[in-house]
Every structure is written in structure tokens, then in C-alpha cells.
Amino acid sequence: MSTRAHAQIRRSQAITTWGPGALIDLPRHSGIVGGLETWSKVDVLDEITDPRLTRKISRLTDVPTPRLYAPPAASTAPGEPARGIGVWRFPEWMLVQEDSAGDVNERSRRLVHRKFLDEKGRFDGRQVVPTRFVRACPRGHIADLDWHRFVHGPEDGCKRQLRLHERGTGGDLADLEVRCECGKSRRMSEAAELDMKPLGLCWGPRPWLGADSQEQCGLPSRLLIRTAANAYFPQVMSVLSLPEHGTQLDDAVRELWDDLQIVEDSADLGVMKKKPKVATKLAGHSDKEILDAIARLKHGDSQEQPVKLVELDALLAAPDRLHPLRCHHPRHPWRVRQRCAACRARTRPAVVSRHRKPRRGDLHPA
């Protein structure tokens, strides 16, 4: 994986549109966005501190104390180490850009694997483009099509040259056919027939985690168009950032969380108290009080409400504020959208000619 930047995206898109496992088209390549291990080191990332979101993720993932970080920002200072998100080349199969012979509405292009390209990324001196067809399963695993198996079946081991024959300009699956030099062929429309299992069973590939990152699966593989809108759906989890008004001890524990997150009992706490900073911050509190505060931060309060209810209570508890375009009259309800005549007159801007002195009857802003 090259460390040179090939493209730029917004940091918010690294969470939604092009999160880990998303298929992305770069200026010169296509790829799949790498997992979190391809991000920059955590010491250069901005940590996000939100106890409620942390506890929510902890309950869903069974990770005791997850750490949250914002996507890495691009390097701006000269000489600063490169920061970014890794992308793996995907798919591995390419189509050779060959001149069409005869009818302009028909063309046949060779299907080649990336390992047969030269150092310039070409095949026989010709440019190549990634194929737009991949396979996936309902569990999110994704991989290249086994083109030879698709044409010949699982029993035939023919590895001769394949071609993708296209008729028309619509790109419909019925107009595409994969042909082998041995004479066998198969229409791409058959790859979409799930009952026939034309693409075989999924073996759990996860290319966004790198090579050899498979897991057990066994579900039937389905045809997926790489550039389709349904190729990737991020699982986004969000909360409203509301300040938690805890005690002084809770604030101290939160400030020392890097040291106290591994504390499980009084013995661990005694070891951490040997650090002067920890001992100073926790002075005046018993071990039981400190351990209870650590447990609250790790697992939440036993009386804690669901996240959405906490957010709703915070919104309903907000004081009513008068909108500048709503009625200000004390006897009118705040929900009235139309202002009364007195309010309209009071907020009307002054219109005074600059060529004469103001008169007694001129309006002035309130």
C-alpha cells in the first residue's frame, strides 16, 4: 500500500459515504476503503469524549472502554508526516481498453487479472479499467467474481483467455456475455439468478482488512455492481452531545481516565495512586467512592435512561426563546407565526431620506 495520497475526501465522508469497506473510485484506480488499522496513529488523531456515546457503543460491541477518534485530517505543514486513510486496490480483475472492430455497437474486451499487468499498470501496452462487477453476500463480505468458474462451472479447470462481449450501449446484463477461447460462454444476466447459485458460496472475504482476512460464511454470493448506490450502507450511531453534570469526583475520574480505565479493584487503584498526579486529584475521597465513580463511567448509572429519552428531556427542558420573526406580545402564545400589528410596527426599519433632516413623524427602530 503506497503512502502517497491519491485523492481527498471530507472527514465526514469517512464516517458515512466512504467508511471502512466502502468501494471508491480514485482518479487513477478503484479501491476499497481500509479498516481503522489503516488510519494514522492515535497520537495524531483528535479524541472524541462523550460518555453516553461511549457507553452505548460498549453495550452493543461488548468492548469495555472503547476510545473514539475523529478521522485523520490532511497534513498541512511542510515536512509533517503524511496522514490519511488507507485504500486497498479492488477489484483485481480488469478490462483491457481495446479498439472496437466493425460495428460500433458491439465490442469485445479481454478480462485480465491485475497480477498480469506491467509496471505501468497496462496489459500488452494498453490501458485497463476495473470491471464493474463484484460479488457479495448478505453478511457484508465482498470479493471478485471467479470468472473462470462462472463460465465453465466448478468442475472445469480451463484457464484460457476470457473476453467480455458487449452489445448495444445500454449496459444491460442481458447484453453482456463472457466468452472463453475454448468456446464456452455465459450471459451476465444468469449471474443475477440467485436460485441457480451461479457465483458459488461465500467464503467470508473482507478485503478492507487486507489479504487473508476471511471468516466463516457459506451464504450464496450475489452479483453486485460496484458503482451502484446500494453497494454500501454505513451503520451510523449518533447522539446529541449533552454535558454531563457530575460530581467533582466524577470530573476528576474522567480527567484521569487514561490511567483509571484499567482499574478493577482496590489493588489496581492502589497502584495507580502511586502516581503523583492521580493521588493529588483523588485526595479526600475513599477507595469505595473512587471505584463507584469508575464503575459509573465504565458501565453507566443503573438508573440511566435510554439515550433518546435523555436527549428529549434536554430539549424539552430548554427555555423558550422568542424567534425574531414571531410575535413578541406577552399575551400572545409563542407558537403564533404571524406577528401582531404592534410588533410589526415596532420592528419596522426606519426609512429616512439622506437628503433632508429627520422629522417628528419619522419611524425609528425600536
What are 302-337's pLDDT values in tens digits?
Answer: 556 677 777 777 677 666 554 454 554 555 544 444
pTM reported for the whole predicted model: 0.69
Helices (H), the chain: 51-61, 147-152, 248-255, 257-260, 266-272, 276-281, 287-299, 307-316, 341-347
Of 143-147, 195-199, 353-357, which gets the smallest average pLDDT?
A: 353-357
Which amino acid appears at position 12 of this protein? S
Which DSSP state fits 65? S
pLDDT number for residue 81: 76
Exposure pattern of 283-296 as b/e (b: 16+ CB <10 Å)? eebeeeebbebbeb
- % of the chain surpassing 90 pLDDT: 31
Write out pLDDT tens, residues 173-188. Answer: 989 999 999 999 999 9
Tell me, what's the pLDDT at 1?
A: 55
pLDDT of residue 351: 41
Q: Look at residue 319 in the predicted model and tell me its pLDDT.
A: 63
Supply the angle between the helices 248-255 and 287-299 in degrees, to the nearest 10.
70
Answer yes or no: are the C-beta atoms of 93 and 144 closer than 8 Å: yes
pLDDT at 340: 55
What pLDDT shows up at residue 3? 65
- How confident is the prediction for the chain on average, in pLDDT? 81
- Give pLDDT, residue 91: 93
pLDDT reported for residue 227: 84
* Arithmetic mean of pLDDT, 218-238: 88
Query: According to DSSP H, which parts of 110-171 are helical?
Result: 147-152
- Contact residues for 185 (Cβ-Cβ < 8 A; gap 6+): 151, 165, 177, 178, 179
Residue 338 has pLDDT above 90, yes or no: no
Give the pLDDT confidence score for residue 322 in this predicted structure. 46
What are the angstrom distances between the C-alpha of 39 and each of 12, 95, 347? 15, 31, 53
The number of angstroms, rounded, from the C-alpha of 270 to the middle of its chain's C-alpha atoms is 41
pLDDT tens-digit series, residues 15-27 = 888 999 999 988 8
Q: How many CA atoms lie within 13 A of 84 on its CB side?
A: 18
| Nearest-angstrom CA–CA distance, 276 and 209 | 41
Q: Where are the domains of the chain?
A: 12-89, 95-129+143-205, 248-316
pLDDT tens digits, 25-67:
888 889 999 999 888 888 888 888 887 788 888 888 888 778 8
Distance from C-alpha of 64 to C-alpha of 107, rounded to nearest angstrom: 57
Question: Which positions ≥6 away from 276 have C-beta within 8 Å?
Answer: none
* CA nearest to 130, candidates 117, 140, 141: 117
Asked whether residue 219 carries a pLDDT value surpassing 90, the answer given is yes
**Comparison of pLDDT for 314 and 294, the residue scoring more:** 294
Looking up cell 446484463, which residue turns up?
Answer: 173
pLDDT of residue 215: 92
Region 337-364 average pLDDT: 48
Give, in degrees to the nearest 5, the angle at Cα 99 between 160 and 161.
0
Residue 217: band (very low, low, confident or very high) from pLDDT cuts 50, 70, 90: very high
pLDDT of 357 higher than 60:
no
Residue 249 identity: L
Residue 295 has pLDDT above 60, yes or no: yes
pLDDT in tens, 91-109: 999 999 987 766 667 889 9
Beta bridge partner(s), residue 68: 48
pLDDT in tens, 230-248: 888 888 888 877 666 556 7
By the 8 A CB rule, do 260 and 16 touch?
A: no
